Structure 1
Amino acid sequence: MTDDGTDRAGTLRPSPLTGHIQRLLQRVRAADQRRPAVWDGLLTTFCVLFAVLDVSSGGWRTVAVDPSMSPRLVLLLSAAFSAPLLLRRSHPSAVLLFMAPFALVNVWSGAVVQAAFLQEIVVFNIALRLPLRTLAGAGGIVLAPLLIGSARFPADWNQLFVPHLYAFVFVSLLGIVFRTRKEYTEALVDRANRLELERDQQAQLAAVAERTRIAREMHDIIGHNLSVITGLADGGAYAAAKSPERAAQALDAIGTTSRQALAELRRLLGVLRDPPDHADRTPQPTLDDLDTLLAGVRTAGLPVRLSRRGTPPAVPLTAGRQLTVYRVVQEGLTNTLKHGGGHSALAAEVVLTYGAKELEAVITDNGTPDPAATAPDGTGQGITGMRERASLYDGTVEAGRPTGTGWRVRLRLPLEDSPS
C-alpha cells in the first residue's frame, strides 16, 4: 500500500475505517432488503415515541407560537405526522397528501410541533424513487401550509417557513444524490452482467470455432491418408499373386503412410491434451510440402502432375494461406482417390497460378462420375471444409464437373488481406 491509498498494482484500496463503514452499510441495506416491513415498523415506532415524549414533556411549547394549545390537539398532530410513516415507501405521495391538512392546522393554530419535520422523510423517499415532477409537487404540498401560517403570524415567518424550506431543499438534494448513485451502481452491475454474458458467449463461440477447426483438420488428415492406404492395399492385393516384390513395396508404403497419419493425429490431439508449454509445435504443412504430398498420392497409384505458373510474390504467403492451399489440394486429390472411378487411366493435375493479387489452385482429374458417392453439387463435408478454409482469407472454392466427366476444384485466394 502506497501513501496515496493504492497498492503496488495501482489499484485504489479503501482505508480500514472506510472499509468498515462500507461493510456496515452493506449489512444494513441487505437486512432492509430482506425484511423491509421490519425496518419500516422500527422507524415508525421510534418516530411515534419521539412525538409522544415531546408532547408529554411539554417540549413542544419551547418553539410553539401559541403555547396555550391543547395537548390533545398537539398529540393528534404529532401522531398524524409520525404514524403514516409506515407507508412512506409504498405510497409516499398519498402519505404526504394525508399529512397536508394536519400541517395546515399545525401552523394555523400556532402549535408548530417538531413532528412536522417528519414530512421530510417522505420527501426523501419521493426524491429517491419518483420522478422529479412529483418532487416538485411535494414541495408545493409541504411549503403551501407554511406560507399560509406565515401570513397568519407574520412576525414569526422566519421561525415557521425558513427552517422547513432549508430542510426540504437539503433532503431533496440528498435524495437525488442517493438516487443518482443507486442508478449508477445498478448501471455498473448491469454492464458487468452483460460483459460476463458476452464473455461466456465469446468463449462458447471460440469453443465451437475450435471444434470446427479440429474436425476439419482431422477430416483432412484421416480422409487423405485412409484413401492413400486404401489405394495401396488394393494395389498390393492385385500384385501379390504376380509380383511379390511390388506387394512388399505397397505394404511398406502403407506402413509409412499410417505412421505419418498417426504422427499428425498425435500432434493435433496433443495440442488439446497437453498444456501449451508441452504441446508439440511441429510446423503445419506449407506449399513446400506439396511435392511430398503428391509423392504419397503417386505411391497410392494415382498419377499426379504439378505445374506452377506465374511469379511467386516477393513476400511469401502467410502460414495460414499456405496451409489452406495445401489442404485444398490434399482434399481434392483425396476425392479423386475415393470417387474417381478407379479405372486404369485415372490421373490428376494440380496447377498453381500466381497472379498480381491472388493465387489460383486448380485440381482436375479425368475420373468417371459417381453420383452415389459424391454430392452432385459439391456440397459434401470435404467441399464444405475447403470453402470454410478459403473464406477465412476472403477466398472462394468452386467444385464440380465442368464437362460432365472428371472433377475440378478451383481455389482463388487473395495474396493479402482486403482493406475490409
Structure 2
Amino acid sequence: MSTERGVQEWSPGGPYPIRLAHRAVQRLRAMDARHPVAWDLLVTLIFGVGATVDVGGGNWRHIAHDSEVPIALVTALAVGFVLPLPWARRRPLAAFGALTMVGLVDAWVGTWLEIGQLAQLVILFNVALRLPSRALTVSGVLVVAQAAVGATRWPEDDWGQQFFPSIMSNLVALLLGIVVRSRRDYTASLVERARQLEVERDQQAQLAAAAERTRIAREMHDIVGHHLSVITGLADGGAYAAQKTPQRAAQALAAIGSTSRQALDELRRLLGVLRDDHPGARSGPELDPQPTLADLGRLIDRVREAGLPVRLTERGTPAATSPGRELTAYRVVQEALTNTLKHAGPRATATVEVTCAPHLLSVAVTDSGGGAARQPAGTQGREVRDGRGLRGMRERAALYDGTVAAGPRPGGGWGVQLELPLAGDPAAPAGPWDTQHQGAAS
C-alpha cells in the first residue's frame, strides 16, 4: 500500500468507518469542552460502578497479594480511589496526592485494586496535560514511592518484576498527557498566529488605504488649487481687459477653457484609480504619464497667462532620477506658484531656480511679495501660507528623504526651497536639459 493510499484511508475523508470514528471523537471532545463537570461526574460514576463490581464480586482477590484483607478496608480503599476523580481536571495534583495516599495503603496491605491503578493513570494523565513540569516531578516521586512500597512489602522471585511494570504504565500515562498537551498548545499557537496575521493584514490594509487617501487628497489639492488659481487670475484679467481690449478678454476666456479642460483631464486620471474597471479598459487621459521636470515650461506658461511674471533658471546637468522625485519637484513648484498667485498681490513677480548636482536636486521658488506675503513672520500672512499646501510639500519631500523650507524672505516676499537627494536612484546616462525647459526660461 502506497503512502498516499495510507493517508487517504486514515484521514477524516477516508472510508466510512474511519469518518464515523473521527466524528465520534469530535463529538466527545465537544461534549467535554461544553460540559466539563458533567463529564467528570460521568467518569467518576463509571469508576464507581467498576469498583462496586470489583469489590462486591470479589474479583480483587484474584490479583491481591493478601486475599484475607477485611472487606470493610477493601471497600474504604475503593471509595478512596474513586473520590478524587471529580477533581482530576480542576485540581489534578491535589487529587493525585490524595489518591497516592490511598495507593500507599493499598500497596502495603496487598489488595492491589485494579480500579485504583486505572484511576491513578487517569489523574496522572491530567497532571501531565494541565500542570507545569514541576508537578510532573512531584507526581513521579509519588509514583516511584508507591511502586517501591508495593515491591518491598510483597517481594516475589524478582523485585524488579513488580517495580518496573508499575513505573512503565504510569510513564506511558505521563507521556500521553505530554503529547496531547503539546499538540493542543501547538494548535493554539497556530490559531493565535492566524489571528495575529489577520489583524496585521487588516492593519496593513487600513494603513495602505489611509496612505492612498492622503496621496489622492494631496494630488487633488495641488491640481485643483493650482488650476483654480490660474482660472481666477485669468478671469480677473479678462474682466479688466473686456472694458478696454475685447481681444485680450477673448484670449483670457480661451485660456480659461484650456486650463479647465486640463484640470478635468488630470482629475479624471487621478480619480481613475478609484474605479473598479479593469486597467485594460482605461484609455485617454487616464493613461497619460504624471508630470515631470520636462513639463515645467507648460506650467510656467499657464501661470504667466494668469498674470504672474515668472522667470525660470536652470543650472547644472540633470542626472537620471526617478519619476516620483520629478513629480515631487513639479508639484512643489506648482504649489509655490499657486500660493504666489493667491497671496503675493497683483504686482508680484516670481523666480524658479532648478539646480541639479550629481547627488542633489534643488528647487527654489521665490516671489517679490505683496499683500499678505509682506507681513512679518509670525503674523497672519505666514499662517495663510503655512497651511495644507506647505504640509503637502513636506510630505512629498519626506517620501524621498528630502526637505522643504518655506517662509518670508528678509527683503520681502516669500521663498520655498526644496532639496531632494538623488542617491539610490538607478544609474542612467545623463543628458542636457529638455529643449522645452530652455524655451521656458526668460
What is the TM-score when the length of structure 2 is the normalising length?
0.86
Aligned residues of 1:350 and 1:361 also touching (Cα < 8 A):
yes
- Other-structure match for 1:105: 105
Partner of 2:310: 304
Aligned partners of 1:369 and 1:406 also within 8 Å: no
Structure 1 residue 276 displacement after superposition = 4.5
Q: Distance in 2 between the 1:197 and 1:251 partners?
A: 54
| Equivalent residue, structure 2, for 1:122 | 123
Alpha-carbon displacement from aligned partner over 1:29-88 (angstroms, at most 9, x marks no partner): 232111111111111111111121122232212211112223332232122112320111
Alignment match of 1:335 (pick from 339, 361, 365): 339
Structure 2, unaligned runs of 5 or more: 427-442
Contact 1:393–1:417 (Cα < 8 Å) also in 2: no
Q: Which residue of 1 aligns with 2:431?
A: none
Bigger mean CA deviation after superposition, 66-75 or 126-135:
66-75
Distance 1:352 1:25, change over 3 A: farther
Report the residue type matching 2:32 in the other structure: D
**Alpha-carbon offset, residue 210 of structure 1:** 0.7
Find the aligned partners of 1:20 and 1:281 in 2 and give their Cα distance.
60
**Distance across 1 between alignment mates of 2:249 and 2:5:** 80
Q: Which residue of 1 aligns with 2:437?
A: none
Q: Is the 8 A contact 1:78 1:113 kept in 2?
A: yes
- Counterpart CA distance in 1 for 2:87 and 2:145 is 23
Q: Distance in 2 between matches of 1:41 and 1:3?
A: 42
CA contact (8 A) 2:128 2:178 kept: yes
Q: Partners of 1:330 and 1:19 in 2: how far apart?
A: 70
Partner of 1:324: 328
Q: Call closer, same or farther: CA 1:55–1:14 in 2, change over 3 Å.
A: closer
Quickly say closer, same or farther: Cα 1:319–1:46, change in 2 above 3 A.
same
CA distance in 1, matches of 2:222, 2:210: 18
Which of 418, 424, 430 is the equivalent residue of 1:417?
424
**Larger deviation, residues 331-340 vs 397-406:** 397-406
Change (3 A) 1:55 1:199: same
Say if 2:339 and 2:385, in contact at 8 Å, map to a contact too.
no
The one-letter amino acid paired with 2:335 is E
Partner residue of 2:206?
Answer: 204
Q: Percent identity?
A: 51
8 A Cα contact 2:147 2:167, kept in partner: no
Letter in 2 for 1:141: L
- In the other structure, the counterpart of 2:429 is none
Contact 2:353 2:363 in 1 (8 A): yes
CA contact (8 A) 1:394 1:417 kept: no
Verify: 1:265 aligned to 2:272, yes or no: no
Most deviating of 239-248 and 215-224: 239-248
Please name the residue that 1:69 is paired with: 69
Offset of 1:20 from its aligned partner? 6.2
Partner of residue 9, structure 1: none
CA distance in 1, matches of 2:265, 2:413: 33
* 1:316-362 Cα shifts (integer Å, max 9, x gaps): 3211111111101100100110001112xx21111111102111111
* Greater relative contact order, per chain length (Cα 8 Å cut-off, separation 6+): 2
Letter in 2 for 1:390: A
The range that moved more, 409-418 or 176-185, is: 409-418
CA distance in 1, matches of 2:101, 2:359: 86
Structure 1 residues 128 and 206, CA, compared in 2 at 3 Å: closer, same or farther? same
TM-score (norm 1): 0.91
Q: What residue number does 2:432 align with?
A: none
CA distance in 2, matches of 1:190, 1:242: 78
Residues 78 and 116, structure 2, Cα contact 8 Å, conserved in 1: yes
Residue 380 of structure 2 is aligned to residue 397 of structure 1? no
The residue correspondences of 1:237-386 to structure 2 (distance < 5 A) are 237-277=239-279, 278-279=281-282, 280-313=286-319, 316-343=320-347, 346-368=348-370, 370=372, 371=375, 374-376=381-383, 379-386=386-393
Q: CA RMSD in A?
A: 2.5
Q: C-alpha distance in 2, partners of 1:110/1:183?
A: 40
User: In structure 2, the residue corresponding to 1:385 is in which secondary structure?
Assistant: helix
Q: CA deviation at 1:28?
A: 2.8
Alpha carbons of 1:324 and 1:120: their partners in 2 closer, same or farther (altered >3 Å)?
same
- Taking structure 1 as reference, are residues 398 and 188 closer, same or farther at Cα in structure 2, changes over 3 Å only? same
Q: Secondary structure at the match of 2:382?
A: coil
Contact 1:369 1:405 in 2 (8 A): no
CA distance in structure 2 between the aligned counterparts of 1:5 and 1:282, rounded to whole angstroms: 58
Residue 167 (structure 1) aligns with: 169
1:342 alignment partner, SS class? coil
CA 1:283–1:23: 2 relative to 1, 3 Å: farther
SS in 1 for 2:362: strand
Q: Give distance in 2, aligned partners of 1:406 and 1:25.
A: 82
Q: In the aligned structure 1, how far is the partner of 2:162 from the partner of 2:81?
A: 16
Counterpart of 1:16?
A: 14
Tell me by how many angstroms 1:293 deviates: 0.9
Give SS of 1:155's match. Answer: coil
- Report the counterpart of residue 150 of structure 2 in structure 1: 149
Note the C-alpha offset of 1:310.
Answer: 0.5
8 Å CA contact retained: 2:322, 2:425:
no
- Residue range with higher mean Cα deviation, 179-188 or 385-394: 179-188
Aligned partner of residue 412 in structure 1, secondary structure: strand
Aligned pair in 2 of structure 1 residues 274, 142: CA closer, same or farther (>3 Å)?
A: closer
Name the amino acid aligned to 2:273.
V
